[in-house]
Structure 1
């Protein structure tokens, strides 16, 4: 390609759910987004607390390995219920918001 050639890039607006935008069904996308949001809050809280691996192990005990997996984005092994339980364990409240589809 020479410098004189133009590159055309098409940009499309997406929804508020990346998972739906990349081809998951609306039901799958909603579940994946919930899991992702829960894991993100857990990760953010741990980063804010500046916990190292030893402190995570001490605080979470046998769940410490799970926490490391979540931090690394390995969410396929976790249910929404497990993520909620971990958030409650660290003192965070989980609320559910339901609204009409747009």
Structure 2
């Protein structure tokens, strides 16, 4: 089995076109927005704890450095604040 390093976008890595990979970008923005709201409601340490990340990781997220986060970590952060991610795969037209 050959192991390759991913691009950071699981949708592109499994063969989706850049247009079809857009849901990942939307998810990243959603996590970033929710992190900002969580940080505004709590002090930074509480917000980081709620999202399950360290304070420096929360700061990176709040600064828009979203490319530093895997899709898995973003989904996990959403789960920690009561959100569920659903993904649909459809046959190409």
State if a TM-score over 0.5 links the two structures.
yes
Aligned to 1:59: 50
Instruction: Give secondary structure in 2 for the equivalent of 1:82.
Output: helix
1:1-102 superposed matches below 5 A: 27=16, 29=18, 30-31=20-21, 33-49=22-38, 50-51=40-41, 52-60=43-51, 62-102=53-93
Residue ranges of structure 2 left out of the alignment (5+ in a row):
1-11
What is the count of residue pairs matched by the alignment? 78
Shift of 1:96: 0.5
CA RMSD of aligned residues (A): 3.1
- Larger C-alpha radius of gyration, 1 or 2? 1
Distance 1:57 1:47 in 2: 11
Residue ranges of structure 1 left out of the alignment (5+ in a row):
1-23
Q: TM-score, normalised by structure 1?
A: 0.53
Q: Which protein has greater RCO, CA pairs closer than 8 Å, 6+ apart?
A: 2
